[in-house]
Amino acid sequence: MGDHRQEKFELRNDAPISPLNGETLRAQEHKSVANGPNRADSPVNGVQEYKRCTFSAEPTLEDIRRMQAEFADERNWNQFHQPRNLLLAMVGEVGEVSELFQWRGEVAEGLPDWTESEREHLAQELSDVLIYLVELADKCHVDLPQAVLRKMALNRLKYPASKVHGSAKKYTEYKE
């Protein structure tokens, strides 16, 4: 088997599927994904079913940065949107996401037991986190998409698939 994460990435990007209406796949055809550590459901007769999800291509992070900058400009809110305030606002929104999950116990991938209204609420709170994150990066002059590429390259170096496959240990715990 090749790079597990690369295979997962390709699987998750080869079809335009709504995040909430993901296509059900037979795990026997894609064992490396279905047998990953995040599977909450257990195999029935050796076959697991799971949903896959892709994002829409738009808006890009640059689109979101620009739309939020316009939103703040139109309201004369840049006086409030300094980096520290944006950080606090983002953390507050992360707290709102946490509230949606609290006391539920473990939640299976795809949120099968959630109502449409709960899913929409989650989508809104995650959007708030992203909006503040993007504006925080903007106000700190971090080119977020490029920074993500650099960070993912570092992650791949720190966690070579051949070394860490199937283990969630932190890189400091691996011996040479």
Q: What is the dihedral of CA 117, 121, 122, 125, to 10 degrees?
A: 170
| 80 contacts ligand DCP (rule: CB under 6 A) | yes
Sequence letter at residue 88 = L
Q: Which is nearer to ligand DCP, 131 or 136 (CB)?
A: 131
Q: Which is nearer to ligand DCP, 71 or 174 (CB)?
A: 71
| 77 contacts ligand DCP (rule: CB under 6 A) | yes
Report, in Å, the least distance between residue 53 CB and ligand DCP: 22
CA 176 to chain CA mean position, Å:
30
Q: Which is nearer to ligand DCP, 67 or 142 (CB)?
A: 67
**Residues with Cβ within 8 Å of residue 10, at least 6 apart in sequence:** none
The residue among 144, 109, 150, 147 whose CA lies nearest residue 130 is 144
Report, in Å, the least distance between residue 66 CB and ligand DCP: 14
CA 80 to chain CA mean position, Å:
28
Which of the residues 99 through 128 are near ligand DCP (CB under 6 A)? Answer: 128
Give the total of residues touching ligand DCP (CB under 6 A). Answer: 5
Which residues here bind ligand DCP, judged by CB under 6 A?
Answer: 77, 80, 96, 128, 131
